[in-house]
Amino acid sequence: MKQIVEFKGKNVLVLGLAKSGLAAAVLLKKLGAIVTVNDGKPFEENEAAKLLISEGMNVICGSHPVELLDEGFEVVVKNPGIPYSNPIVSAAVLRGIPVITEVEIAGLISEAPFIGITGTNGKTTTTTLINEMMKEDGKGTVLAGNIGEVASEVVQSAKPDDHVVIELSSFQLMGIQSFRPHIAIITNIYDAHLDYHGSKEEYAGAKINITKNQTKDDYLIINADQEELLSMAEASSATVIPFSVHKTVENGVYIENGTVYFQGEAIIQTANIALPGNHNLENILAAVAAVKLSGVSTDSIIRVLKTFAGVRHRTQFVREWNGRKFYNDSKATNTLATKSALTAFQSPVILLAGGLDRGNGFDDLLPYLTSVKAVVAFGETADKWIETAAKAGISTVKKADYMTDAVEKAVALSEKGDVVLLSPACASWDQYKTFEERGDIFINCVNKL
């Protein structure tokens, strides 16, 4: 790791703990900063706070008092999940105190270049594909960010010839000043996290931050099927590499006559790709661009694409049983994600859906339910799903209490050749702590058949 002096002797406030705040606080102390930590969780329940106090740091727990800023902090390192509307954050901004996320620190200390991936959908799949292709080709990688470990922690051991492959959220990207990935990817932009950002314009602006410090020696890989992204990319100083699933793009990645091409070189026929779904072709094209620019061989790319069947909880193939194929798409916590999953299958689908009721309906999914022969609905939105199924002309509908019951009912409704798909279009918090827990229970049920 680079021995930097940017924080030496500086009075730094780490706002919010969790994994990233804990890692940032420990690193900042190592870099010579005078660290104060402020976390909303009460001290009695806060093991991370107790650890930091034992390390000699000043820790304030239970609330975020604005008057804390009177202590003369020169930098605030904010947990990405804390919005800028939080009183202490907005007060810091008004006082002109720089507010950063730990990704900024990771960029300052890393000896290895970054491949940064952001976007509304497809980030995790794209990040995982890049990492798998790099490893298959024998290149050193460090997986970081939302999909891996805390960036500022794992980059400390990264070597100059490694690559830091990092999934980046809009929350993280709002808090960068000098962070500069050598290769940046924006998979797509749709309306998302508007409760945090307030507007799509602010959300998109956070995403495009990924390229704000890039130069002509860096690369910005962009979805050329979205005019909005093409317009946003015009402000970048990086070399733009477009990708498209619908048209041939100069100097980019595209599909022509059923074959994936990178800058004119044939890579693989789409029929030989194991990962299902047209939406995943976008992720594949972005990943191919990133690894080809990093010197990965075409043979390594082919080997991964012929075997990679998906990221856990994201249209993940679980198993085939008695002629039925089971897929876990528990990460589909909104209708946009469920649309993508439904378009991936031509076979008759038994759809397991439902979850937390956020007040929205599912009518925008009606055009995508044509291959669905039966619906098993669960959770707070079960009745809404029953109504949606009726509107779609789906006559076979069952209501389930929990996932075990839902899988049993789906299996009973299925026939040889069917796909049984968990793609809830809802968050999990009405019945499960996380979408991962919901998906894991589905997988366990399926594996017990």
What CA–CA distance (Å, rounded) separates 52 from 60? 11
The answer to whether 396 is a known ligand-binding residue is no
Strand partners, 77: 14, 100
Scanning 55-211, the segments in alpha helix (DSSP H) are 87-94, 102-109, 123-136, 151-154, 170-173, 194-197, 200-208
SS3 400: coil
The answer to whether 264 is a known ligand-binding residue is no
The phi and psi torsions of 183 (rounded to 5 degrees) equal -125, 125
CA 219 to chain centre: 20
User: Of 146, 155, 104, 150, whose CA–CA distance to 127 is shortest?
Assistant: 146
The answer to whether 123 is a known ligand-binding residue is yes
- Check if the beta carbon of residue 218 is closer than 8 Å to that of residue 153: no
What CA–CA distance (Å, rounded) separates 164 from 183? 10
What CA–CA distance (Å, rounded) separates 206 from 275? 29
Residue appearing with tokens 């899988």: 407
The answer to whether 122 is a known ligand-binding residue is yes
What CA–CA distance (Å, rounded) separates 215 from 178? 12
The answer to whether 447 is a known ligand-binding residue is no
What CA–CA distance (Å, rounded) separates 213 from 182? 10
What CA–CA distance (Å, rounded) separates 144 from 26? 17
The dihedral over CA atoms of 363, 365, 370, 373, expressed in degrees to the nearest 10, equals: -90
State both tokens at 448.
């017990």
- Check if the beta carbon of residue 329 is closer than 8 Å to that of residue 314: yes
What DSSP string describes 22-74? HHHHHHHHHTT-EEEEEESS-GGG-HHHHHHHHTT-EEEESS--GGGGGGT-S
CA pseudo-torsion sign 101, 102, 108, 112:
negative
The answer to whether 124 is a known ligand-binding residue is yes
- Check if the beta carbon of residue 38 is closer than 8 Å to that of residue 92: no
The answer to whether 125 is a known ligand-binding residue is yes
What CA–CA distance (Å, rounded) separates 399 from 2? 57
| Annotated binding-site members for ATP | 119-125
| Annotated binding-site members | 119-125
